[in-house]
Amino acid sequence: MTTAHISAKKGDIAETILLPGDPLRAKFIADTFLEDVVQFNAVRNMFGYTGTYKGKKISVMGSGMGVPSIGIYSYELINFYGVKNLIRVGSCGAYNEDLKLYDIILGMGACTNSNYAHHYELPGTFSAIASWDLLYKAKQVADQKGIDIKVGNILSSDVFYNANPDAYKKWASMGVLAVEMEAYALYCNAAAAGVNALTILTVSDSLVTKLETTSDERETGFSKMMEIALELA
């Protein structure tokens, strides 16, 4: 079976998959952390790979940028390929002044300015949250490895270059830790299908301090986040 966006056959993709936004980051993860790697997708250059980590089968594939892109890929992975655990690993911009570059956040919940949940025709506002099993296990792994993490609410935004540079302050006043662009759709799709999803983020820049990492550092410099995510397979 193939889809419009994924050329894999049934069984090529593991039940647990890591989803970085950048397909080149997916390749880096596969080359660096996995053994016996087989590439299962290159459609639209959205690279996907399956291999093993400590003897456990695990896949990794790019999700693209934004709610619409991860909405497509996560839906197909869940509903056509039987993926049960979807773990977004990505970068984020800090809204909290106490967050530093390379700090790690577990996205317990995701706010959004997207209209993605509208298509479910719910009679209200859907609160998109991570799966407790994955969230709890990720926290345990981080504690065991001595990796300091923050757990809390994040914002999945449709806007990268905001016309109002101070808009983040309103979200920050509600305790939102950071901004990214995909978690809300991932959590919605997982909830609708009854599978598990979690977002693990590394702070790549700060809207408070204006410090930021380079694109190369974002592709290869997030090893602690990977140490946590790979243990969830």
What residues are labeled active site? 205
Helix H, strand E, coil C: the string for 160-215 is: CCCCCCCCHHHHHHCCCCEEECCHHHHHHHHHHHCCEEEEEEEEEEECCCCCECCH
C-alpha torsion sign, points 220, 129, 144, 203: positive
Q: How many residues does the chain have?
A: 233
Q: Which residues contact 23 (CB under 8 A, 6 or more apart)?
A: 45, 46, 47, 61, 62, 64
- Residue 141 in 3-state DSSP? helix
Query: Which of these, 155, 168, 167, 146, lies nearest to 199 by C-alpha position?
Result: 155
Hey, what are 155's tokens?
């914002």
| Separation in Å, CA 41 to CA 27, 29, 89, 229 | 11, 15, 19, 21
C-alpha torsion sign, points 26, 27, 32, 36: positive
Query: Which of these, 183, 85, 89, 88, lies nearest to 134 by C-alpha position?
Result: 85
Hey, what are 169's tokens?
């302050």
CB neighbour class for 179 (10 Å; exposed up to 12, middle 13-18, buried from 19)? buried
